[in-house]
């Protein structure tokens, strides 16, 4: 197998990222991975503002790429190709990355490979753990939530996903409702540690229905009602109320994810994989309770649990470089006609997802 070194570029949401990845005899090595977030730029607006994100990507991308190449100790002449996120995501940001990648490819004559951002997440366990196909992937972040059977570098089968909000989005909204900061996930988790998860009972949406689809938007309405009930009854929220609300909310999300994962594993195991494995990706996979419960579901069913390091679970460009290498090895590459796609489901045969996340329609 030919050794390949790729530059990866990611700008589909609120992280401007560049990375250099080398694949030697099939195994991946990250030579550099630079990520520049935009949390401060969007802080005043309570969510990612697409125009601000796009402008920041356009301003920062070339610096971030220079930093990645310098950290890898390589020049453009040492590369075998350029991989760039071509969707799905916020179109202005995706365009910034695609245009820059085209410019670099035109100037250097290097192959240009457009990558689906979700394929980047889904193929990460092969970069970090050398996981063989097929495996089950749970993508769970602020913008995505879906179960995918990853059968090959370009072969994905979606078993189900959220029909409205992504879980990270629900954590962020909960934090906002309770006056905590952003991103909300880690802050809600910290509150929940001191809380009683049994005091408030929040709904477990869609558990009564078969299949692996999920819904999280009703949870925030339930939380809002519980919060307003307390405020009406006692004039405000006590410290313990907030902790109990967070604990109840976190447990509801966790139980939905655990039960739907159990079902997804059942469907996936029917394919008789040699080594049944569940891999997770996305910021929500950082949550300790969620991780523990998913691990327990895997232990119950004899599946291996694979969780890449957090910096590679969240948005980064190493996953884009790696997915580009995998696609290139299969003969895939694009010319100057490569276009940016706001929507780009991995499984083209699956019915369209109904919802779209805070960070834009994903897939
Ligand atoms: O994967 P990610 O960095 O970005 C995308 O959404 O693409 O995920 C960020 C999301 C945010 O919504 C954040 O609140 C959530 O992941 N998150 C968490 C935790 N850490 C981050 N949610 C629950 N518990 C956490 N510890
Ligand atoms: Zn992502």
Task: Give the structural domain span for 72.
Answer: 4-131+315-342
* 255 & 142 share domain: yes
* 202 & 333 share domain: no
Cβ atoms within 10 Å of 160's Cβ, excluding its own: 20
* Cα–ligand 1 centroid distance for 307 (angstroms): 15
Atom of ligand 1 lying closest to residue 313 CA: 1
Q: Note whether residue 337 is domain-resident.
A: yes
* 305 & 335 share domain: no
CB 19 within 8 A of CB 38: no
CB 88 within 8 A of CB 287: no
* 273 & 200 share domain: yes
Name the closest-CA residue to atom 5, ligand 1.
142
* 294 & 156 share domain: yes
* 234 & 127 share domain: no
* 264 & 233 share domain: yes
Q: DSSP class of residue 285?
A: G
Q: Note whether residue 351 is domain-resident.
A: no
* Cα–ligand 1 centroid distance for 349 (angstroms): 28
* Cα–ligand 2 centroid distance for 226 (angstroms): 31
* 111 & 215 share domain: no
* 219 & 151 share domain: yes
- Closest among 86, 160, 139 to 342, alpha carbons compared: 86
Q: Note whether residue 360 is domain-resident.
A: no
Q: Note whether residue 297 is domain-resident.
A: yes
Of the residues 291, 310, 329, which one is the last residue of a structural domain? 310
Q: Note whether residue 357 is domain-resident.
A: no
- Residue burial 68-92, b: 16+ Cβ < 10 Å; e: rest: bbeebebeeeebbbbbbbbbbbbbb
* 10 & 90 share domain: yes
* 110 & 175 share domain: no
Number of independent structural domains in the chain: 2
Measured from the alpha carbon of residue 115, the closest ligand is 2
For the chain, the distance separating the N- and C-terminal CA atoms, rounded to the nearest angstrom, is 33
Atom of ligand 1 lying closest to residue 359 CA: 6
Peptide bond into 313 cis (omega under 30): no
Q: Note whether residue 147 is domain-resident.
A: yes
Q: Note whether residue 195 is domain-resident.
A: yes
CA 184 to CA 168: how far, in whole Å? 8
Total-model pTM: 0.91
Q: Is the CB of 115 under 6 A from ligand 1?
A: no
Q: Note whether residue 358 is domain-resident.
A: no
Measured from the alpha carbon of residue 254, the closest ligand is 1
Q: Where are the beta strands (DSSP E) in the chain?
A: 4-10, 15-24, 27-37, 81-87, 112-116, 135-140, 145-152, 155-161, 277-281, 304-306
* 197 & 297 share domain: yes
Measured from the alpha carbon of residue 176, the closest ligand is 1
* Cα–ligand 1 centroid distance for 361 (angstroms): 17
Q: Identify which of 192, 257, 283 to mutate to test ligand 1's pocket (most ligand atoms within 8 A of the CB).
A: 283
Per-residue tens of pLDDT for the chain, all 363 residues: 789 999 999 999 889 999 999 999 878 999 999 999 888 888 878 778 888 888 988 899 999 999 999 999 999 999 999 999 999 998 999 999 999 999 999 999 999 999 999 999 999 999 999 999 999 999 999 888 999 999 999 999 999 999 999 999 999 999 999 999 888 999 999 999 999 999 999 999 999 889 999 999 999 999 999 999 999 999 999 999 999 999 999 999 999 999 999 999 999 999 888 889 999 998 899 999 999 999 999 999 999 999 999 899 889 999 999 999 999 999 999 999 999 999 998 888 887 665 444 444 344
Write the CATH number for 49. Answer: 3.30.420.40
Pairing relationship of beta strands 81-87 and 4-10 according to DSSP bridges? parallel
């Amino acid at each position: 197998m030919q050794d390949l070194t790729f530059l990866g570029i990611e700008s589909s949401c609120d992280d401007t990222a560049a990375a250099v990845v080398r694949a030697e005899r099939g195994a991946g090595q990250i030579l550099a991975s630079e990520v520049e977030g935009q949390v401060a730029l969007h802080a005043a607006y309570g969510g990612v503002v697409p125009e601000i994100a796009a402008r920041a990507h356009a301003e920062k991308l070339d610096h971030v790429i220079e930093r990645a190449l310098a950290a890898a100790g390589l020049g453009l002449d040492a590369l075998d190709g350029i991989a760039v996120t071509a969707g799905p995501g916020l179109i202005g940001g995706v365009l910034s990355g695609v245009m820059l990648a085209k410019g670099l490819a035109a100037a250097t004559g290097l192959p240009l490979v457009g990558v689906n951002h979700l394929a980047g997440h889904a193929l990460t366990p092969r970069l970090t753990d050398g996981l063989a196909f097929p495996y089950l992937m749970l993508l769970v972040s602020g913008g995505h939530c879906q179960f995918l059977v990853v059968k090959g570098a370009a072969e994905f089968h979606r078993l189900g996903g959220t029909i409205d909000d992504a879980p990270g989005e629900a954590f962020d909204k909960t934090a906002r409702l309770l006056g905590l900061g952003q991103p909300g996930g880690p802050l809600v988790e910290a509150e929940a540690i001191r809380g009683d998860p049994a005091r408030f009972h929040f709904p477990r949406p869609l558990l009564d229905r078969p299949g692996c689809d999920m819904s999280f938007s009703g949870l925030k309405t339930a939380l809002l009602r519980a919060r307003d009930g307390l405020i009406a009854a006692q004039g405000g929220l006590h410290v313990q109320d907030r902790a109990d609300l967070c604990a109840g909310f976190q447990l509801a999300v966790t139980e939905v994810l655990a039960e739907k994962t159990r079902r997804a594993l059942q469907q996936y195991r029917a394919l008789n994989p040699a080594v049944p494995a569940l891999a997770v990706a996305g910021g929500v996979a950082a949550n300790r309770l969620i991780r523990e419960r998913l691990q327990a579901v895997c232990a119950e069913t004899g599946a291996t649990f694979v969780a890449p390091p957090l910096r590679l679970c969240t948005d980064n460009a190493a996953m884009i470089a790696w997915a580009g290498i995998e696609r290139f090895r299969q003969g895939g590459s694009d010319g100057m006609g490569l276009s940016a796609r706001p929507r780009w489901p991995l499984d083209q045969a699956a019915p369209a997802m109904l919802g779209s996340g805070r960070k834009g329609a994903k897939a």
